[in-house]
Every structure is written in structure tokens, then in C-alpha cells.
Amino acid sequence: MLAEYVIINLMEMAKKSESPESQKSSGVLARALARALNKSILYLRMIKFSHSVFALPFAFTGAMLAASGIPSFRQIFWIIVAMVGARSGAMGLNRIIDRNIDALNPRTAGREIPSGKIKVKDAWAFTLISFAILLTAAYNLNELCFKLSPLAVGVLILYSFTKRFTWASHLILGIAISAAPLGAWIAVRGTFDFDILPLALAVVFWLAGFDVLYALQDVEFDKKHGLCSIPERFGIRKALLLSKAFHLVTWVLLAATGIIFNLNIAYWFGMALIAGLLIYEHSLVKPNDLSKLNMAFFNMNGYISIAVFLFTLIALLL
């Protein structure tokens, strides 16, 4: 990563500092900057910042549909701030709540909190600040956004506990992430309208579909520790079928969105591409071969969310 390269160079500057006061001061500054950058990278890793590619394009899509084009700069700015606050707070809270479970799982034991790289009290501070940023952004968008923001936070909090009592946790996560297009629509329009629901529901089933795939990694661990998921409840083969069914529903709901908003041929080219990406995603994961799971989970779904955004943008601008 670029940031890690910068840290290494800053540390080298610090090591080369000699006795003269000017060099000593620069060495102290370099070490301080290196520590700050290193800490920032730890927090970005804790919240899986790279996974922002999943929700943010759908937020922009919802905003564009609400504006029938490009929203104002002010609206875009506060939507981005709200998304950063919501996602950072949700991921921080999830990592705090799951820290003991993560410590037991070899796949997640190296995460920042169970490994001791980030202290729990620091994670709490980060999480509370993030939610405060969300509330501030909602206040600056409009009255309805601000009134609904505690509900959004409540759903995000609920999800972190659902794997302890229901295999439908994937759908709850989908509902939480569906706030991206729904919230962005309200941010631009200032009203709740049924027209945006198919897109929001598409996000629910899209997210649930690939979260089921993600959960395939932990089937045995979940069984051993009493955690709930679709793969744990129904087995790998049936979980794959349900994931495919969820993604079929996703495509149908995205198609309904195109019809409701009377989007032109550009959108339907995008729908053809998305169908191909979904089919390819599921071809990568087989009951007896999960070796390409990460590619199916991250790469394909990143492409899908960006494709929805780009082809919606093109359709609205043409």
C-alpha cells in the first residue's frame, strides 16, 4: 500500500536523524507522523475500508435516481460523510462485539482488536465518533434524514448480534446496507417514496447472497461455537442454491428499478453485464471447491455495485 510505503520512508528518515537539533527535530516529527499513519492504517483495516466499494456506489445510484441526474455538490458531500460515518461505526461496533469470537477463529484471530493492535476502549471511541459523524451528516441533509438516523444506527447495532440467534443474519445485514440507496434517496428528495424500494430490496438480496458465500468459510467453526448462518443451518450445497436464488431476485428487482424510472437502453446493457457477472460469480464457488471464494466475494461484487452505478449514471445523462 502507498501509505505503508510512506511509513517506511518516514521511519528511515527517523533512523537517519543525527545529533544536531534540526536533524533531531525532523526525526521526532518523522516518528510521530509514522505512528499516526500506522494507527490510521490499523483503523482502516479494522473497518475493511476497501469493502466500501459494495455500498457507496448504491448510495450514489439512489441519489442520482432521486435527482434524475447529478445531485448538488452539497448533497453529495454530506451523503459521503454519512456513509463513511455509518460504515465506520457499524464495522467498529461489529469488531468490538465479536472480538471474543474472532479471537477463537483462526481466520479472524489476527484482526486488530483480538490481536491487541487496537485497544477496546480506543475502538469504542472510534465507533462513537463515527456514529456522531453520521448524525451530523443526517442533520445537515434534511429533517427526515435526521429523524430516521437513529433507526439506521439501531439496525446496524442489531446486525452485530443476529448471528447468535438466527440464520437470517445475512438478510438483516442486507437490510442494514440497503439504507445506502434508501438513505441517499431521502437525502436528495427529503421524502420516503415507494419508487426507490425495488433498488433497496435489490441491495438486501444482493448483499445476503454474497454474505452467504462469505459464511462458507466458517461452517465448521459456527457449528462448534453455536453461531447461526445459512451454511451452518442448511449445509453448503443448499446454501449455494439459496445464494443463487437471492441473486436472481436481485436481478429481477434491478430490472424493476429500470422499468419504474424508465431508464434507457444503456441501463439494460448494464443489466446484461450484471447478469453475466452474477452467473460467473456463482461458477467460481462449488460445494467441493471454495478456493476461489475470495474472488467471488470481493472482486465480482465490487464490479456489480460499480456497474449498477455507472450504467444508471449513463442512462440518466444520455
- How much is the pLDDT for 41? 86
Asked whether 280 and 307 are in contact (CB, 8 A), the reply is no
86-104: average pLDDT: 95
pLDDT digits (tens, 9 = 90+) for 106-151: 999 999 999 999 999 999 999 999 999 999 999 999 999 999 999 9
Q: What is the pTM of this model?
A: 0.88
User: What's the burial of 161, exposed, middle or buried (CB within 10 Å: 0-12/13-18/19+)?
Assistant: middle
Cα(first)–Cα(last) distance of the chain, in Å?
Answer: 37
* Record: fold of 163-318: Four Helix Bundle (Hemerythrin (Met), subunit A) (1.20.120)
- State the DSSP string of 206-267: HHHHHHHHHHGGGHHHHHHHT---HHHHH-HHHHHHHHHHHHHHHHHHHHHHHHHTT--HHH
CA 286 to chain centre: 25
Asked if residues 285 and 293 have their Cβ atoms less than 8 Å apart, the reply is: yes
**Separation CA 39–CA 127 (nearest Å):** 15
CA–CA gap between residue 99 and residue 200 (Å, rounded): 30
51 has pLDDT over 80: no
For the chain, the structural domain boundaries read: 1-46, 70-150, 163-318
Counting residues of the chain whose pLDDT is more than 90, the rounded percentage is: 77
> pLDDT tens-digit profile of 185-211?
999 999 999 999 999 999 999 999 999
Would you give the DSSP letter of residue 196?
G
Q: What pLDDT is stored for residue 173 in this prediction?
A: 96
Q: What does the longest C-alpha to C-alpha distance in the chain come to?
A: 71
Superfamily of segment(s) 70-150: UbiA prenyltransferase (1.10.357.140)
205 Cβ neighbours under 8 A, 6+ residues apart:
174, 246, 247, 249, 250, 253
